[in-house]
Amino acid sequence: MVPWLSLLVALPLIGAVIVLLIPKSAQADSQIKWFAIIWSLVPLAVASFLWFGLYNPAVSKMQFEETAMWISAINVRYHLGVDGLSMPLVWLTTLLTVLSLYYSSFTIHERIREFFFMFLLLEVGMLGVFVSLDFFLFYVFWELGLVPMYFLIAIWGHKEDRPLYSSIKFFLYTLAGSVFMLLAIIAMYINTSSATTLGTFDFIELAAKKPFANDWTFQTLAFWAIFIAFAIKVPLFPFHTWLPDAHTAAPTAGSVILAGILLKLGTYGIVRVLVPIFPQAFQANATIIGILAAISIVYGALAAMAQTDFKRLIAYSSVNHMGYVILGIAAAVAVGAAKVDDRAIALNGAILQMFNHGVITGALFFIVGMLYERAHTRALAEFGGLGAKIPVYGAILLTATFASLGLPGLAGFISEFMVFRGAFATMSVLSTISVLGIVFGAAMLLWKVIQKVLLGAFDDAKWKEKESHGIHLNDLVRFEAITVAPLIFLMVLIGVYPSVILNTINTLSTAILSAIKF
Amino acid sequence: MPDATTLYLILPEITLAVFGMVILAVDLIWRERSRAALAWLTVLGFVIALATALLGWGWNMALFAQMYVVDTFAIFFKLLAAIAGILVTLVSLDYLRDRTPYRGEFLALFTFAVLAMMMMASSASLLMIYLSIEFLSYMSYLLTGFLREDKKSNEAAIKYFLYGAITSALMLYGLSLLYGISGSLNFADITATFAARNDVPTRIVALVSTALVIAGLGFKISLVPFHQWAPDTYEGAPTPVTAFLSVGPKAVGFAVLLRVLLTALPAFKNEWIALLTVISVLTMTLGNLVALRQKNVKRLLAYSSIAQAGYILIGLVSVNLNGASPFSGLNGVLIYLFAYLFTNLGAFTCVIAIENATGAVEIDDYKGLVKRAPFIAALFVIFFLSLAGIPPTAGFIGKFFVFGAALREGFLVLAAIGVINSVISVFYYFSVVRAAFFEAGKDTAPIRLAPPITFSLVVSAALVLVMAVYPEPFFNLAAWSMGMFGVAK
């Protein structure tokens, strides 16, 4: 038995240490870059091999499980495993890390060693969260990811976008949520323990034991303590205010990981922890959560529409898109006369939407970053007519935008359609309101992104003038095309043939829902 | 009845007393030649004390007319004291060389201070407690004011002394009330008295004396409102002494507080829990809020250490020794103190390393530190994460058990205030990180590290990380150390 998941988490950590050890020399920077990129391909290869080679999508149980006692006094176990929920996200993490490192090797020019060290450490944290099945371990990895992201934003952030303010804001927001989650974790342990037996931190055992089953007050308290920690990460209205700041300030690769993976940690946690462990509390509060999701969807789209900064616009569109995920989850567990099929469709849609949002918004942040590298501005008003001027860039932006607004044939459509298709059964009113978000979202992307950036007249004189300042609007170069190509490919693939991933997800959704009494 | 054969139980104390005198004598005889060797002699003394302390492991014996006990609880704190002694001596080498010619005296006084810590940990009678606390206090005053040419150092010592004199008078008054009511200096007799007499006057006197004892020890631990001396003293004292004061007296202060409250005054548990809960909240909150505004790293760490005492107090008020729960509160205190020892000494060692090279202790002076001393800058991050209780560090494990105890006892609000405070603390800890990593400094000369400092930094940082990755041995150590309270029950 190969401890695949330990290997997967350990690889980036080893890589990070090696990055620190590469001796100082004139070539050190390029050695570090190439080492980090090539090294990061290994986790991707392992994850690909696991998902497409060894993983059995027909089984709903945890796969590649590893268990060992870690702290026997409090029954903390080193328990790893993946299922249909985490496998795609693990794979996406390794993919986006490779792309981010590759892209950064061309665009990051200072403090190379620290950058690649931090990035690999960040990968450890993210992978760790997705594969942990013990709440203590989960929490350790959860916090482990915070610190590198803080440094990435603060050191390599855009100087004019207050990176120091944004990074500490990101850190404190997330931490403020997670410390209450920590209290809930301990409370669950104490509740599941007795005078003679130890309690548990294990997700699977907790789901079986249902802590606070007879104590409604505490169940609700613990539920919300954990939910808010996750909601801040998602981010769900009204906990989203850190997101635009963090995204705007972060370097391109940081934004990609933030949007692509870190936001998913929140929704992942909700499905992994809250749905199986607190189904009753979740059902009782599903309406409130659904309302927050609907507000996020509509408000996120409207707020995005009001932005004048390209990157901030994409950041707010994340609030909108992650809202669909929450809506799907809430609808799947909500009380109501719905068929199990409807619920499963909603949950499948929500989980697929996590993956799709990672792919699409990850790509969009790369695309915005590429434009910023050229134009040194992200103000939407500055652009226009780029579609004709730099057609390859235009085509890629167009594809990603269409995927984002849910054009059939591309990834976003499938998941958003499924969320709404499922959610109408239990939350018809909220779903109806949320559909407005689709309309606003489409309007926002068509008007603000496609019309303002790609269409219209190209201001030749202005850009000529800027050329004297060293600003050249040339089309995509090779490394940029290589960076976004896999993501564009995924958007089309999932758009036309979603079964590649839905098979994996569906087994799990059905299993989760079958464990809940409606 | 103890006889000469049981004297080996106090070998650590004997060792330190002998070494202290030898250091004085050697300093007198050799003067010039001895200076480098003296520090190593001191370290040797602490190492021997550490080893001999372990000899007594597993014993639970009262010596000298029940005034002095050697039990696992005392030994836990003796280990802590010896480790603090070793680390502080190592980091004070270079610091003292540039600042004072009287290094022999310094090391002797420091050895006696550690001896006093050990005696506090073993004290089991009112008289012994008072004597050992005074012993430690006087050593601390002298060490604080050791830089005679430095006005700040003098001011720090005077402030420390004045506050110390008042609080020790208060505590002495409290102890004398206890003696007056029970007619004994012995904890067991005191407990028996309160078990037998439960009338209102007795209770009132007992409560007053409990409050007075808490005041006296609160001064050592720097609990609000007995903390005012701490920032000025920490800022003015020689930095190795500050490092020592922030962990040593605080730790044994908790040891005495635990012993007195749990073995002499269990009858008033509800009352002292109520009192200490209020103090805990005040201590955490005030320490953290004031720390937000500090510009001087030593002052920042002073307020931080006040706040840390508040967190540790959460474990004390949540003490519940019934059942075999891993969240007994007491073990939280011990684990936290152990984690805090290495973390805070580590953080101070970073400060000392920078101060040795540049003389600078303002946060603004730390700008661009990552370029000048990447190793120190990185370790600062680890130590600050640990102080803030963020995994994977020792501080997280400490907070985990302390907050867990509060939850077990149902003190939800207290636990919530604790975690909110730890979030606030990140802001000021990271203000140092921010200066070190993100802002450009004027000076770019690399900072060199002396080998002893590097050594103690590596040890501290390694333990901070090891405690998080493999906390089991530390958990067991704490569990064994508190075994005597189970026996006493």
Summarised one tens digit per residue, pLDDT across range B223-271 is: 988 888 888 899 988 999 999 999 989 999 999 999 888 888 888 888 8
Structural domain that includes position A435:
278-518
Q: Which residues of chain B does A187 touch, with a Cβ-Cβ cutoff of 8 Å?
A: 407
- Confidence class for position B319, pLDDT limits 50, 70, 90: confident
Provide the 10 A C-beta neighbour count for residue B247.
25
Task: Report chain B's mean pLDDT, rounded to a whole number.
Answer: 88
**From the CA of B466, how many Å to the nearest CA of chain A?**
13
A143 to chain B: closest CA residue: B391
B420 to chain A: closest CA residue: A176
Residue contact A187–B407, C-beta within 8 A: yes
Residue contact A183–B403, C-beta within 8 A: yes
Q: How many domains does chain A have?
A: 1
* Strand boundaries in A131-211, DSSP class E: none
Q: Does B440 touch chain A (CB under 8 A)?
A: no
Residue B5 has pLDDT above 80, yes or no: no
Residue contact A186–B404, C-beta within 8 A: yes
Q: What is the mean pLDDT of each run of 10 residues along chain A (518 residues)?
A: 90 92 86 91 93 87 90 89 92 94 90 91 94 94 92 89 90 92 92 85 89 88 94 91 91 92 93 91 92 93 91 92 93 82 89 93 92 86 84 90 89 90 87 89 87 83 82 84 91 90 89 83
Residue A11 forms part of a structural domain = no
Closest CA to B342 of B8, B80, B106: B80
Q: Does A182 touch chain B (CB under 8 A)?
A: yes
Residue A25 forms part of a structural domain = no
B430 to chain A: closest CA residue: A168
| Coil, helix or strand at residue A203 | helix
Q: Label residues A408-438 b or e (16+ Cβ within 10 Å = b).
A: eebbbbbbbebbbbbbbbbbeebbebbbebb
Query: What would the DSSP string read from start to end of B115-184?
Result: HHHHHHHHB-BHHHHHHHHHHHHHHHHHHHT--TT-HHHHHHHHHHHHHHHHHHHHHHHHHHHHHHHHS-
- Rounded to the nearest 5°, which phi and psi values hold at A60? -90, -15
Tokens of A93: 């993490």
First to last CA, chain A: 39
pLDDT at B32: 66
Whose tokens are 């004045």? That residue is B162
Residue B135 has pLDDT above 70, yes or no: yes
* Strand boundaries in A308-440, DSSP class E: none
Q: Does A171 touch chain B (CB under 8 A)?
A: yes
Whose tokens are 């849609």? That residue is A349
Residue contact A180–B323, C-beta within 8 A: no
Q: Which residues of chain A does B420 touch, with a Cβ-Cβ cutoff of 8 Å?
A: 176, 179
Side-chain half-sphere exposure of A83, counting CA atoms within 13 A? 21
- Confidence class for position B34, pLDDT limits 50, 70, 90: low
Residue B31 has pLDDT above 70, yes or no: no
Q: Which residues of chain A does B437 touch, with a Cβ-Cβ cutoff of 8 Å?
A: 151, 154-155
- Rounded to the nearest 5°, which phi and psi values hold at A134? -120, 130
pLDDT in tens, B56-82: 777 777 787 778 888 888 889 999 999
Element (H, E) at B70: strand B68-70
Residue contact A186–B476, C-beta within 8 A: no
Q: Does A173 touch chain B (CB under 8 A)?
A: no
- pTM confidence score: 0.93
Q: Does B326 touch chain A (CB under 8 A)?
A: yes
Q: Does A28 touch chain B (CB under 8 A)?
A: no
First to last CA, chain B: 22
Residue bearing the bigger pLDDT, B173 or B320: B173
Cα angle A400, A402, A403 (rounded to 5 degrees) comes to 65
pLDDT at B487: 39
Residue A161 forms part of a structural domain = no
- Rounded to the nearest 5°, which phi and psi values hold at B54? -70, -25
Residue A26 CB-density burial (10 A; 0-12 exposed, 13-18 middle, 19+ buried): exposed
Q: Which residues of chain A does B381 touch, with a Cβ-Cβ cutoff of 8 Å?
A: 147
Tokens of B285: 């909150």
Q: Do residues A3 and A50 make contact, with C-beta atoms less than 8 angstroms apart?
A: no
Residues 383-422 of B with CB under 8 A from A: 385, 390-392, 396, 400, 403-404, 407-408, 412, 415-416, 419-420, 422
Q: Which residues of chain A does B412 touch, with a Cβ-Cβ cutoff of 8 Å?
A: 183, 221
Residue A325 CB-density burial (10 A; 0-12 exposed, 13-18 middle, 19+ buried): buried
Residue A445 forms part of a structural domain = yes
Q: Give the percent of chain B with pLDDT over 90.
A: 47
Residue B313 has pLDDT above 90, yes or no: yes
Q: Does A190 touch chain B (CB under 8 A)?
A: yes
d(CA A148, CA A121): 7
Who contacts B332 (Cβ-Cβ below 8 Å, separation ≥6)? B314, B315, B318, B398, B401, B402, B404, B405
Q: Which residues of chain B does A146 touch, with a Cβ-Cβ cutoff of 8 Å?
A: 390
pLDDT in tens, A479-510: 888 899 999 999 999 999 998 899 889 888 88
A113 to chain B: closest CA residue: B374
Q: Which residues of chain B does A171 touch, with a Cβ-Cβ cutoff of 8 Å?
A: 426, 430
Residue A429 forms part of a structural domain = yes
Provide the 10 A C-beta neighbour count for residue A219.
21
**ipTM associated with this complex:** 0.91
pLDDT at B25: 87
B436 to chain A: closest CA residue: A155
Q: Does A195 touch chain B (CB under 8 A)?
A: yes
Residue A418 forms part of a structural domain = yes
- Rounded to the nearest 5°, which phi and psi values hold at B291? -60, -30
d(CA A163, CA B274): 44
Tokens of A502: 């839905």
Residue contact A140–B390, C-beta within 8 A: no
**From the CA of A145, how many Å to the nearest CA of chain B?**
10
A168 to chain B: closest CA residue: B427
pLDDT at A474: 84
Residue A333 forms part of a structural domain = yes
What torsion, rounded to 10 degrees, do the Cα atoms B303, B304, B305, B310 define? 100
Q: Which residues of chain A does B419 touch, with a Cβ-Cβ cutoff of 8 Å?
A: 179-180, 182-183
A140 to chain B: closest CA residue: B391
Mean pLDDT calculated for residue range B205-222: 90
d(CA B466, CA B473): 10
Q: What is the DSSP letter of A25?
A: S
pLDDT at B3: 63
Whose tokens are 């149902």? That residue is B410
Give the length of chain A: 518
Output helix, strand, coil percentages for chain A, rounded to the nearest 5.
Answer: 75, 5, 20
Q: Which of B381, B407, B423 is facing A183, going by the closest CB pair?
A: B407
- Confidence class for position B488, pLDDT limits 50, 70, 90: very low
Residue A271 forms part of a structural domain = no
